[in-house]
Structure 1
Amino acid sequence: MTALDAYETARVLADHGLDSDAVTHADINKAADRAGAQRPAGSDDRHTVRLALDAIGDVR
């Protein structure tokens, strides 16, 4: 998963009102699909999505 994939996935999650504490693996996979991004390959990728989601939330 690239940084852009993580950001685009996090953006979809944020648009649906989810935060990094509430998001599930299934949520991340669905968001990646909606964003047209690569799905996370493992826990490191999901962590990167959560970090991006936190960053987006801090900007809002």
Structure 2
Amino acid sequence: MTAYDAYLTAQALADHNLTPDSATTADIDAAADHAGAARPATTHDRHVIRAALDTLADAR
């Protein structure tokens, strides 16, 4: 997973008003599919997506 994939996935989650605490693994996988990004393969990948989502939430 690239940083851009994490960003695209986080943006898709944010567009649906999900937060790092409320996004489930299934939500993250669906968001990645929706964004056309690679699905996270590891726990670390999901952590990076949650961190990106947190950053996006702070920017709003």
Is the TM-score greater than 0.5? yes
| Aligned-partner SS, 1:19 | coil
Flag structure 2 segments of 5+ consecutive residues without an equivalent: none
Q: Which runs of 4+ in 1 moved over 6 A?
A: none
| Aligned-partner SS, 1:37 | coil
| Aligned-partner SS, 1:41 | coil
Calculate the TM-score normalised by the size of structure 1. 0.99
The residue aligned with 1:52 is 52
Q: CA deviation at 1:24?
A: 0.3
Matched residue count: 60
The residue aligned with 1:15 is 15
- Cα distance in 1 for partners of 2:34, 2:49 equals 14
Residue 45 of structure 2 aligns to which amino acid in structure 1?
D
Q: CA deviation at 1:46?
A: 0.1
Q: CA deviation at 1:16?
A: 0.1
Residue 22 of structure 1 aligns to which amino acid in structure 2?
S
Calculate the TM-score normalised by the size of structure 2. 0.99
Q: Can you list the C-alpha shifts for 1:1-59, whole angstroms capped at 9, x where unaligned?
A: 00000000000000000000000000000000000000000100000000000000000
